[in-house]
Amino acid sequence: MLTPFILLSALAVHYVSASSASIVAGALTTFQYPPNATVVPSSYFPDENQVGYGGPTPTGDEAAAIETAPALSKVDDIYPLVAPAAADANAKEFDVLSYLGNYSPMKSVHSFGLPGASPLVPDGCGLNQVHLLHRHGARYPTTGGIGPAAFATKIYSAASGSGFSAKGDLEFLNTWTYKLGAEILTPFGREQMFTLGVGFRVQYGDLLKGFHDLPVFRTTSEDRMVDSALNFAAGFFGVRTYETDYHQLIMVESGGINNTLAPFEVCPNSNKAEIGGQGTAMAEKWIAVYLEPAAKRLAPMITGVNLTITDLFEMQLTCAYETVALGYSKFCSLFTEEEWTGFEYAIDLQFWYGNGPGQPTSAALGVGYVQELVSRLTQTRITDYNSSVNGTIVDSNITFPLNQPIFVDASHDTVIASILTAFNFTSLAANGPLPTDHIPVNRSYYVSQIAPFATRLVGQVLSCPASEKASHIRFILNDGVLPMTGIKGCKEDKSGLCELPTFIRSMQERIGEVDFAFDCNANYTFPTPDNIIDGRYPPSLRNGTA
C-alpha cells in the first residue's frame, strides 16, 4: 500500500479522534469513539484478501458525463438533514439552509449572469484538463470568539443560578444541552466530500486515462482538511483503493509556513483586527439593525439572563451548526424569513470586507494559487517567490507535477473567496461596496453561492473546436458558469469561454499588479470602503505609506 508522500519540514499529517462535547452539570464532557480506546484483535476479523471468495471483479470504462450527458444533475439534496423552517407561518417554502452564508450546504447555483451556460462541455469542444479547488465539508464550530459555545456557556451559567426560566418559543432552553464538537468534520460533512468524489469521478473520470504517474492531490494539515481530502478520494477512487491509486500531499497549515491553500498564516495584516477584522466590524453594524425586532420579540420569553443582540446572532449560528451536525435544530424556527435574510447579508458583509473584494489583503492572499494555476497551465516552474507559494513544494515534479489531466486542491471558505478576488471575477463584485444599514435591492455577492460547505470551483481547459489543441478555459463555481468579466482581453461569451493564451496573459498581468509584500506587511489603516473593490490596497493611496 502506498502512503501519502510526506516532505519533511514542509508537510505533516495531523489526526484527531472524533468527539463531540456537551455542557452538562457544569462541566464540558466529551464523548469519545471508539469507546475506551478498544482494540479488537484483527485475527477475528480477517480482511477481504485473507477471506478470499471475492467473486468476479471486472471493471467498466471510465465515465465522462460532463462531455456526454444531455443535462447535468444538480446538487439539491441535504439528506439526512431535516430542512429547518422559519418562524413565519407563511414561510413554509422558505429555505433557511440557503440563507446561512458559508454555513450553508453547497447547492447548485443556477446562474452567475450567464443563464444559458451549462457546466457540460459546449458542443464542438473537447475536454483536456480540469482543475478542482474545493472547500472542506460541514464541520463543527471553530474554537474561540463568539459562537454556539459562547452562547451555551452563558445559558448554562444563568441556569446554574436562581431565577432562570424560559417560556414560549424559548422553553426548550430549560433542558437544552450543547452537543457540538469543534473544528472537525461532521458526519454530514464526510458525506458531502464522499459524494463530491463520486460525482467528480462520474463527470471527469475519463481524464484518468491521460495519467502516466499516480495523481498528486493536495490539502492542508488540519484534521477536517485531511479528512475531507480522504473522503473525496474514497468517493473518487473507491474505499479500498484510494490509498493505492494516488498520492495525498498534506501541506502544513501553521504560522510562518508558506501555503497557498492557507495563505493567511504568512499575511500579518490579514490577521490584524483593524484590517483583516473589518469584515466582522462591518457585519456587527448590520447585525444591530436587523436583529432588533427579534430582540424585542424573544427577550420577554426568558428571565435570569440578559438576551443581547450578540446572543441572538449566536443562536442563529447555533441553528446552522446544529443542523449540519445533529440533523436538526430548534433554534432555526425562532427567527423569521426577514431575519434569516438579514443573517445571510451579515455573512456577505463579513466576507466582502474580510475576505473578498472589499478587503485590502484578499488579492494578496489568493494570488499564490493563481501563480500555481498559471504554472500548471504553462507547464513552467514558478521562479518568483513573492507570495504564499511554498518553494520547497513547487520546485519538485514529485510534489508539484505540471502535466496532470486532473488537479484537486482542498482549502477553506475564506481562502476560496480570496482566490476568486485574486482572479478578479468582477461579476461577483458588480454591486459593491456593500452598505451596512440596509440590504441593497440588487447585489451580486452571495457567500452561500461562493463559499458554502463543500463548495467547488472547477476550471475546464477545452479544445474548441475539439480537433485543436487546448485553446480555451472557463470556470464553474458550484455548477454556475462564471462570466469572464474582469479578466483582461477575454471576450464576452455565452458559455463563459476565454482563449487560453489570453487568460494566461491576463493572470500574469494580475500577478504583477498584486503587491503581496505591501498589502500583507505594510503599516497602513483600512481604507475608506468605497475606495476598494478588487481586494487590493488602492495604489493611489500608497505614496508615503510605511
Residues 43-63 pLDDT 10s: 888 888 889 998 998 889 999
The residue with greater pLDDT, 130 or 4, is 130
- Confidence band of 22 (pLDDT split at 50, 70, 90): very low
The residue with greater pLDDT, 354 or 467, is 354
Residue 53, H or E segment = none
The CA-atom distances, in angstroms, between 389 and each of 100, 214, 335, 367 are: 32, 23, 43, 9
Residue 27, pLDDT > 50, answer no
CB 344 within 8 Å of CB 100: yes
Q: Domain segments of the chain: what residues? A: 85-161+181-522
Q: Which three cell numbers stand for residue 330?
A: 430548534
SS (H, E, C) 97-163: HHHCHHHCECCCCCCCCCCCCCCCCCCCCEEEEEEEEEECCCECCCCCCCCHHHHHHHHHHHHCCCC
* φ, ψ of residue 431 in degrees (nearest 5): -115, 25
Q: What is residue 293's predicted lDDT score, i.e. its pLDDT?
A: 97
Residues 448-480 pLDDT 10s: 999 999 999 999 999 999 888 879 999 999 999
Residue 543, H or E segment = none
Residue 534, pLDDT > 90, answer yes
CA 439, 444, 445: angle at the middle one, nearest 5?
75
Q: What is residue 17's predicted lDDT score, i.e. its pLDDT?
A: 34
Indicate the average pLDDT of the chain. Answer: 91
Q: What is residue 91's predicted lDDT score, i.e. its pLDDT?
A: 57
SS (H, E, C) 452-496: CECCEEEEEEEECCCCCCCCEEEEEECCEECCCCCCCCCCCCCCC
Q: What is residue 93's predicted lDDT score, i.e. its pLDDT?
A: 81
The model carries a pTM of 0.93
Rounded distance between C-alpha atoms, residue 274 and residue 292, angstroms = 26
Q: What is the mean pLDDT of residues 202-223?
A: 97
SS (H, E, C) 228-267: HHHHHHHHHHCCCCHHHHCEEEEECCCCCCCCCCCHHHHC
Place of cell 477481504: 48
CB 366 within 8 Å of CB 423: yes
Please tell us whether the domain made up of 85-161+181-522 is placed in CATH 3.40.50.1240: yes
